[in-house]
Structure 1
């Protein structure tokens, strides 16, 4: 029997990307919640990236629609968005309604391993044990309940036990002393017992206050896996098993079970078999030409492990660091065509790595102006610096 699977070309995938990732001007969103819902999650390892990812996708970037105002309201007042550990041990911002599925499918197992590791290293590298650790975390949680919110330093002052140190990695090249405070806060955050609140300083600060977290519903594992895959395929499909396994950090068996649970349909891609949601095999009309300046670790740039359909392999060395983190990128019609940076005086500068014509150059310049209009006096230096970003920032 002849294979009747539909072929989805790179052009069609780029059209989907422009529309579904809210990057084409006609597809831009009204607010931070709409952007986050469209992308499933925003990478938050670098706090500035969350705001820059949202700002690139908003119809307006002024007044109440300003990315900082809207995103801070959603994160810290309305609580419609939540910052927490998710896939691949990484911090993301999720729609709050999706956090139970993320926790049950992904974070819960990682948290259990993190707690076991902490208890093992604490017992081996100090005079303390798991019972002492439990007493310490109860003191920490009681202090947070009394204060409402606190920084790690404030908690360390109030609960001196948190300043205890233990010898980590005994007998290995990584051997050295670690502070209990940061490791325990990380574990409690991954367990969903505490949450990162408003940071100290500007919106690009990583010095977060901590608060008690509301309890999470506990869906069945299979339901949680299926829900996350359903949401991801709606935004990132078509994609391969390898893409989904990389993005989630799951075992391939969990990926396959979740694909079956949502009834995913197979399609043909240049790199092999892809998957889409049921009924999502039809073409998507290409939007108008569009440009975007996306930050380091933007969800679109980091959405797939196989990237040749939107990134020329010759550009990887300039745009990625040695650990595989992508830096700030310039996009034109669904392809990465360059990189950008902010200099010390605040100027947004960019370099095109492909000859994409005068229309693209003008569109990129307009996006740089739009970015400057709301970033203002804040200086943004990516946490993961790449060769091209460092070169541009230095004025070379």
Structure 2
């Protein structure tokens, strides 16, 4: 790498986050599909994250807007895909995500499930698994939608269980139904419908999905990388490999297919952007954001030192590397937040940022509490600072 390569400073990277991730108030979107498209996909491993991430980027935040896209218009689709993480992506983008990542994951999930069925259940082989899948899909076609429990009335095999780790302190029974429906979702045959209960509920029915158009794997991987670099570039090869969960070879091939260009990052680190995307971005007006656990921006890069101090990581992440709720100021993580049982949204900053920042963060907390109303949110993966804030420590 030579000094002639364009330099993109950390300040410029943070400016891009404010604009391209729709976090600066002037950039906020009118519809949740715009949000998902701008950031490639919304993390959906925790049901609440989709709503909180989307509403942080909507000009008029509301759970109803997210539900419209997920369950009424079905313009957002949840897929077990990159890094074996569930993402909510636009219907238009779903075939690329499926071909690039979800199909391969589904193949591994099928092999694992079949192995477990043979080891921990009775009378299962590849043929019976395939027959059960067909029976489930036929039942869903008749019903329109149904929970796993409801489908068990039509397909009794779903009610069977596997005894995992028998005789050990952590032995547990897993239902065949829960594993098989997840597999069918990974394969793109079924989707989650509106939860039974509030939008935080993990109890939901399933519905069949019309077949997506077939996309060649190499083309799909290139399209995923193109969209990702448009939202997250500049980035390192390590960032791209980590985010996608692909092999280094597949990552480099996709970067070559989109003709990614070399740039310099702070400290002489090698970075990549899409062709022609090294130009300076106008910095947005100062902005604050309260982002939820697992938010796509917090979890967007493998190397995070340009927006997150190493000393703050233990307070904001759990031991598995899952991000908790974070407070942002002008492209940096500056603290954490939580919602207490009485509904109050509280936060803690790691340093004194001045009156302007505190006022902006307070306004975002009020905005969040306003659209949440009576809803109480507890992150799926709890972190030290979030727990402290909830308890009032």
How would you bin the TM-score normalised by the shorter chain?
over 0.9
Q: Hey, what does 1:303 align to over in structure 2?
A: 300
> Which of 38, 42, 66 in structure 2 is aligned with 1:71?
66
Q: How does 1:274-313 map to 2 (within 5 A)?
A: 274-313=271-310
SS in 2 for 1:354: coil
Q: Hey, what does 2:9 align to over in structure 1?
A: 9
Relative to structure 1, the CA distance from residue 224 to residue 386 in structure 2 (aligned partners, 3 Å threshold; closer, same or farther) is: same
Relative to structure 1, the CA distance from residue 239 to residue 392 in structure 2 (aligned partners, 3 Å threshold; closer, same or farther) is: same
In 2, the alpha carbon distance for the partners of 1:173 and 1:99 equals: 41
SS in 2 for 1:97: coil
Q: 1:169 deviation in Å?
A: 5.3
Q: How does 1:177-188 map to 2 (within 5 A)?
A: 177-188=173-184
8 Å CA contact retained: 2:79, 2:98: no
8 Å CA contact retained: 1:84, 1:196: no
CA deviation map 1:249-272 (0-9, x unaligned): 000101100011001101011261
Matched, 1:112 2:107: yes
Q: Hey, what does 1:64 align to over in structure 2?
A: none
SS in 2 for 1:84: strand
> Which of 90, 104, 128 in structure 2 is aligned with 1:95?
90
Q: 1:154 deviation in Å?
A: 1.3
In 1, the alpha carbon distance for the partners of 2:128 and 2:85 equals: 28
CA deviation map 1:62-87 (0-9, x unaligned): xxxxx211111111121211112111
Q: Hey, what does 2:157 align to over in structure 1?
A: 161
Q: Hey, what does 2:365 align to over in structure 1?
A: 368
Q: Hey, what does 2:127 align to over in structure 1?
A: 131
CA deviation map 1:111-142 (0-9, x unaligned): 11111111122122222222222222222111
> Which of 199, 205, 208 in structure 2 is aligned with 1:209?
205
Q: Hey, what does 2:232 align to over in structure 1?
A: 236
CA deviation map 1:169-216 (0-9, x unaligned): 579987643210111111111111111111111112121210001101
Relative to structure 1, the CA distance from residue 336 to residue 209 in structure 2 (aligned partners, 3 Å threshold; closer, same or farther) is: same
Matched, 1:52 2:43: no
Ranges in structure 1 where 5+ consecutive residues have no aligned partner: 62-66
In 2, the alpha carbon distance for the partners of 1:245 and 1:354 equals: 33
Q: Hey, what does 1:193 align to over in structure 2?
A: 189
Q: How does 1:251-266 map to 2 (within 5 A)?
A: 251-266=247-262
Q: How does 1:13-32 map to 2 (within 5 A)?
A: 13-32=13-32
> Which of 317, 334, 338 in structure 2 is aligned with 1:337?
334
SS in 1 for 2:328: strand
> Which of 235, 248, 252 in structure 1 is aligned with 2:244?
248
> Which of 239, 245, 265 in structure 2 is aligned with 1:269?
265
More displaced, 336-345 or 119-128? Answer: 119-128
In 2, the alpha carbon distance for the partners of 1:224 and 1:375 equals: 37
TM-score norm. by structure 1 comes to 0.96
Relative to structure 1, the CA distance from residue 2 to residue 21 in structure 2 (aligned partners, 3 Å threshold; closer, same or farther) is: closer
In 2, the alpha carbon distance for the partners of 1:384 and 1:168 equals: 24
Relative to structure 1, the CA distance from residue 2 to residue 43 in structure 2 (aligned partners, 3 Å threshold; closer, same or farther) is: closer
In 1, the alpha carbon distance for the partners of 2:137 and 2:298 equals: 38
In 1, the alpha carbon distance for the partners of 2:59 and 2:14 equals: 20
Q: 1:366 deviation in Å?
A: 0.3
Matched, 1:326 2:323: yes
Ranges in structure 2 where 5+ consecutive residues have no aligned partner: none
In 2, the alpha carbon distance for the partners of 1:28 and 1:188 equals: 35
8 Å CA contact retained: 2:81, 2:105: no
In 2, the alpha carbon distance for the partners of 1:283 and 1:316 equals: 29
The CA RMSD measured in Å over matched residues stands at: 1.5
The count of aligned residue pairs is 391
8 Å CA contact retained: 1:122, 1:167: no
CA deviation map 1:134-176 (0-9, x unaligned): 2222221111111101111211233221111124457998764
In 2, the alpha carbon distance for the partners of 1:218 and 1:174 equals: 42
In 1, the alpha carbon distance for the partners of 2:166 and 2:214 equals: 37
CA deviation map 1:232-287 (0-9, x unaligned): 00000000010011000000101100011001101011261111000000110100
SS in 2 for 1:302: coil
